[in-house]
A and B are shown apart, each in its own frame.
Chain A
Amino acid sequence: MSKIWKLDNDIDTDIILPTEYLAFETVDEMKPYAFSPLRPELAGQIQPGDMIVAGNNFGCGSSREQAPEVVKALGISCIVAKSFARIFFRNAINNGLLLIEQPDLYDEVNEGDEAEVIPGKEIIVNGKSYPIASLPDNLTEILEAGGLVKAMRKRNGLD
């Protein structure tokens, strides 16, 4: 089961990780500042395995790949949103962070609810099932490998 942290519509990449922290050399140094313009305490509250539920257009804005990287580094198991901005979508998959589009969940769940995610099938929250689509095979391969670079290495027999 994953604990839900609920965020709004249009969560942009400057919210996910403000520019001033991009200069840090490691994602671990950036972690405490994730979501800090909106909810400074959130990064410290998230536990590995938790999930984020959001509205439309999650990840809009910059192409900074540190945004999905830092979310993954916090231990977020997946983000479920009504929709994702396209650059963030690619960047997240390329870093092995699962994103799920689901139109109804956001309106019906609360922060702190527990969810069970069955990839390619459904999300169960408060006894209710929310259907989810399967990802295309090429994206599943990338996710299962833990990201695009790892998938390339695996495909080429390097790992």
Chain B
Amino acid sequence: MGMTMAEKIIACAAGKESCRAGDIETVTLDRLMSNDGTTHLTIDMYNNLKNPHIADVDKLVWIIDHNIPADSPKTAASHKKMRDFARENGITFYEGEGVCHQVMMENHVRPGELIFGADSHTCAYGALGAFGTGVGCTDYLYAMVTGTSWLLVPETIRFNLTGSLKHGVYARDLILTIIGRISANGANYKAMEFAGEGLKGLSIADRISICNLCVEAGAKTALMEVDDVALDYLKEHGREPKAIYKSDDDAVFSEVFDIDLNEIEPIVAKPHFVDNVVPVKECEGIEIDEAFLGSCNNGRIEDLRVGASVIKGKHVADKVRFLVVPASREVYQQALKECLLDIFMDAGAMVMNPNCSVCWGACQGVIGEGETLISTGTRNFKGRAGHKDSFVYLASAATVTASAIKGYIVTADKI
């Protein structure tokens, strides 16, 4: 019986020839990412251990991205704790360089790696064929100190992609459609694997957007087959794969879905659940107070190009705040070179430094009682973007930008 990608990566990390879904394996991690959401808690626990040590400091990457620059003395203290600890211990450290997952994709993730991130959207790394999974700070601490952890080998749901996305339809629409179909816990404890000739037409930005959101279906990880698109990205960023795996032809999947990309339409996820999806046209006309283009899901240069092409020569609606937040310094600088930020600024948008922004309901741009946000962020939970009685709609960069112009939810083809 063959093995899935997930089984192969875990078997390798466990030092075994093979493993099966349902096995519990002790694995050695390849990389350990943590951000300012919880690293201060990890440090507190670490300092309470007797004779603490870091198993392999070269595997640690710490990134301040959630609340950068600091917005309060408490945040500043938390950042200082993280910064000082990283420097004292020689931990690879980024601050203000971008949203953690984008920084990881640009600088660290390699196909075949098993990566823990103290952030739920760590499953994004599947875009490069790496098994990324989110953990809390205690699991992170254990892995940091021992170099290992335990994992239940997940079953895999396979998505065979065919065709290509129509003009005006984006990876965000695809993954929201999939989450709507399988539900917010449809992949709980499982891996979501994407393959098929439809994958070839998707850029790395598209692939990150898809893998990143799989946790919103409960997935433990997301995985994509590594092809020339992925290898070219790695080469451009000066890295080599650890190992390239694909699922065997006789691998066992818990479910298989065939998705024709041509059938995907522009989608929004309505409050307050990511699987509460409908075609954009069903929400057309709903008034918004704020629009957000950014996040680890849709803050890449490709997304900014889409947004800029929609808003060029137009203006943000009078009553709307439009936040544009490039996902990293690399993205920001590229957008500057392409004069995309001029287009957004001319249109009345606020261009912010790379960070998690309103996507996590702190940092900046939070919305007040009764207000509505349309966002390329990751979640639309009740209160996620600010006041408990506010509303978040999730959509593609094109739909978000078009809505910012009109002041109500609308597809970009209406601009």
Taking beta carbons and an 8 Å cutoff, which residues of A are in contact with B? 10, 12, 14-15, 18-20, 22-25, 36-38, 56-57, 60-66, 68, 83, 85-87, 90-91, 94-95, 136, 138, 147-149, 152-153, 156, 158
Contact = CB atoms under 8 A, between A and B. Distances in A.
Contacts of A37: 382-383, 388
A83 B120 contact: no
Contacts of A86: 188-189, 218, 220
Interface of B: 24, 37-38, 41, 45, 48-50, 72, 74-75, 78, 118-120, 134-139, 141-142, 145, 150, 184-185, 188-189, 215-216, 218, 220, 273, 360-362, 366, 379, 381-384, 388
B218 A57 contact: yes
A148 B139 contact: yes
A20 B388 CA distance: 11
Given A18-B361, A64-B136, 5 more contacts: A56-B185, A61-B381, A65-B138, A85-B218, A152-B142
Nearest to A90: B139
B124 to A, nearest CB: 13
A25 B72 CA distance: 13
A156 B51 CA distance: 11
6 contacts: A10-B185, A14-B361, A19-B361, A23-B78, A63-B119, A86-B218
Q: Which of A57, A60, A61, A64 has the most CB of B within 10 A?
A: A60
B36 to A, nearest CB: 10
A20 to B, nearest CB: 6
B30 to A, nearest CB: 19
B49 A90 contact: no
Contacts of B41: 65-66
A15 B382 CA distance: 7
A68 B50 CA distance: 25
B37 A63 contact: yes
Nearest to B386: A20
A68 B138 CA distance: 12
A138 B150 contact: yes
Contacts, number: 118
B362 A147 contact: no
Contact of A147 (B138, B145, B360): B138
What is the interface of chain B mostly: helix, strand, loop, or mixed?
Answer: loop
Nearest to B388: A37
Contacts of B72: 23
Contacts of B361: 14, 18-20
A12 B381 contact: yes
B53 to A, nearest CB: 12
Interface of A is mostly: loop
A94 B383 contact: no
B142 A87 contact: no
Contacts of A19: 360-362, 384
Nearest to B122: A63
Pairs of residues from A and B, 8 with the lowest C-beta to C-beta distance, nearest first: A37-B388, A91-B136, A37-B383, A57-B185, A65-B136, A94-B138, A19-B361, A14-B381
A57 B139 contact: no
Contacts of A136: 24
Nearest to A40: B388
B50 A153 contact: yes
B260 to A, nearest CB: 28
Contacts of A95: 138
Contact of A22 (B37, B135, B184, B366): B37
Nearest to A94: B138
Contacts of A56: 185
Contacts of A158: 50
Given A57-B218, A94-B139, A63 B49 contact: no
B77 to A, nearest CB: 9
Contacts of A83: 185, 188
Contact of B137 (A18, A60, A65, A138): A65
A62 B45 contact: no
B138 A36 contact: no
A6 B280 CA distance: 34
B120 A18 contact: no
For B50, B188, B189, B216, the residue with the greatest tally of chain A CB atoms inside 10 Å of its CB is B188
Nearest to A20: B362
A63 B388 contact: no
Contacts of A12: 379, 381-382
Contact of B184 (A10, A65, A153): A10
A87 B360 contact: no
A64 B220 CA distance: 16
A4 to B, nearest CB: 22
B173 to A, nearest CB: 22
B326 to A, nearest CB: 22
